[in-house]
Amino acid sequence: MAFVVTENCIKCKFTDCVDVCPVDCFHEGPNFLVIDPDECIDCTLCEPECPANAIHSVDELPEGQEVFAELNAELAKKWPLITSVQDALPDADEWNGKEGKLSLLEK
């Protein structure tokens, strides 16, 4: 039961979650983070740390966010590991909570 980064992370990319991950399972893309499901140990530490409420258990994904389970697995294989906190994207607060951001995902 891995955790999944969902749509609200797109164009925000807060990294508070990265700091608490004991197994370094986050990977970073241009405007999104993903969790490697093969590395995630289901510790639940990242979920409450996300200011955008974008991290969910794969078993409890909000309706319409199911595609992100596959995207996390796919992109984790391509993107570099991120192991330390970095600044969020400059306009992260403006994008936080906006719907329909999937088309803005930069791969």
pLDDT tens digit string along 64-95? 999 999 999 999 999 999 999 999 999 999 99
pLDDT of residue 11: 98
pLDDT of residue 10: 98
DSSP state of 59: G
pLDDT of residue 79: 98
Across all residues in the chain, what is the average pLDDT? 97
Q: How far apart are CA 33 and CA 9, in angstroms?
A: 7
* Token reading at 90: 């400059």
Q: Tell me how far CA of residue 39 lies from CA of 12, 23, 31, 96, 99, in angstroms.
A: 23, 7, 21, 27, 28
The fold adopted by the segment(s) 3-84 is Alpha-Beta Plaits (3.30.70)
Q: How far apart are CA 107 and CA 98, in angstroms?
A: 19
pLDDT of residue 65: 98
pLDDT of residue 93: 96
Instruction: Count CB-CB contacts under 10 A for residue 34.
Output: 24
Annotate 55-68 with b (16+ C-beta within 10 A) or e (fewer). Answer: bbebeebeeebeeb
pLDDT (average), residues 4-12 = 98
pLDDT at 52 over 80: yes
CB 99 within 8 A of CB 64: no
pLDDT of residue 57: 98
Reported confidence tier of residue 1, pLDDT bands at 50, 70, 90: confident
